[in-house]
Amino acid sequence: MADTSFLDWPFLEDHHRVLAKDLRVWAAETIPPICDAPGAHANADDTCKKLVKALGAGGWLRYCVPAEYGGALENLDVRSLAIIRETLAYYSGLADFAFAMQGLGSGAISTYGNDAQKRAYLPYVARGEKIAAFALTEVDAGSDVAAMSTRLEKQGDDYIINGEKTFISNGGIADFYTLFGRTGEGSKGVSAIIVDANAKGCSVAERIQVMAPHPLGRIVFKDCKVSADMMLGGEGAGFRAALGTLDIFRTTVGAASLGFARRALDEAMTRAKARKMFGATLADLPLAQAQLAEMALDIDASALLIYRSAWTKDVKQGRVTREAAMAKLYATDHAQTVIDKAVQLFGGLGVTVGSKVEELYRDNRALRIYEGASDVQKIVIARQILQQ
């Protein structure tokens, strides 16, 4: 498997190293039979459900929730989340997706929910018994969260929800949505509420097909009534809850790309050592060696940014808007470069549907868009450094 020397970096503690080693063994034994089975990617819904159950049974989803509610650690630990996503992504983009959406979909409950809300959802997330979703994006409100138009209107002891959310991961298979909508004007008028998927007036209007198949949908809310008890942090706390959740999980998007990049490098090295050409192997040719060297450089640079950001969040306990944006931007963009080099080294086989490097090329592309597109991350970084 990929280079593990990063586990010795001072960013990590002994329990992170144990986690990484144990997960590698589990993942190698458990993920391929699920994700490489005939039709697994064609039927992404069933595959993701199986993966959530397997991740729950293996105890890995416990890292998505605090210990008091069935979690593995006292609080959400970004370094652990990054290690898990990197490892799962190495084996399967769907496995990473299944894990990440459990954490992202329940993250606002972990950080902004009250005790009753946490007890009603988080233990089930940790055991893989309920599938979570993060319902933030709208057709005209992606990176610009404050532009959302979905409305939450208070009526007695309930909120009536009207609006649409799109590109919602786990849309169609989720048991509940952490929904962000408008109760007032501007960013201070954004609120967050938990909506059970079977609530009357909540429906999946469309399943969206993308280049790397995973459950994705457009969700419509029409006069959907939800108890006010499901509001997270009170009215107006949604914008803060959304950004706080992304502050935790944005770094781990980079970690997933890092896992893809490590797999691409391993595949490329195996191919280069075996491919005979011009009386030698591909690995003997200086141009191929230069490509492999650049791939290794991009991977280490990405890893340093990712685990710097994760360490800063875990240890300093502050906002890591700048660090997370840098990690996400660099790792996702440069993973695409690494994977593209792997495809090139494979030649015709690299663009053949079904080859691992072709799969990685598609898997990584979406990560450069969701949870803040690359261009948006540049704006975030610039604003942060201009404030210094």
Q: What is the DSSP string of 85-96?
A: HHHHHHH-HHHH
Which residues are registered as beta bridge partners of 178?
Answer: 134, 194
Q: Which residues contact 246 (CB under 8 A, 6 or more apart)?
A: 324, 371, 372
Residue whose pair of structure tokens reads 């001072």 in the numeric block? 10
Q: How many CB atoms lie within 10 A of CB 281?
A: 15
Give the CA diameter of the chain.
80
Read off the DSSP letter of residue 141.
B
| 371 annotated active-site | yes
Contacts of 293 (CB under 8 A, 6+ apart): none
Task: Give the helix/strand (H/E) hosting 97.
Answer: helix 93-112
Secondary structure class of 373 (helix, strand, coil): coil
Cβ neighbours of residue 230 closer than 8 Å, sequence gap 6 or more: 117, 159, 193, 194, 195
CA-based nearest residue to 256, from 98, 40, 76, 34: 98
Contact 167, 219 (CB under 8 A): no
**At residue 25, what is the residue type?**
V
- DSSP 8-state assignment for residue 66: B
Separation of alpha carbons 371 and 17, rounded Å: 27
Q: Residue 231, SS3? A: strand
Contact present, 329 and 335 (Cβ < 8 Å): no
Catalytic residue among 138, 323, 358, 371: 371
Separation between Cα atoms, residue 185 and residue 187, nearest integer Å? 7
Q: How many angstroms separate the Cα of 240 from the Cα of each of 60, 125, 180, 191, 246?
A: 27, 22, 11, 9, 10
Question: Could you give the residue numbers annotated as active site?
Answer: 371
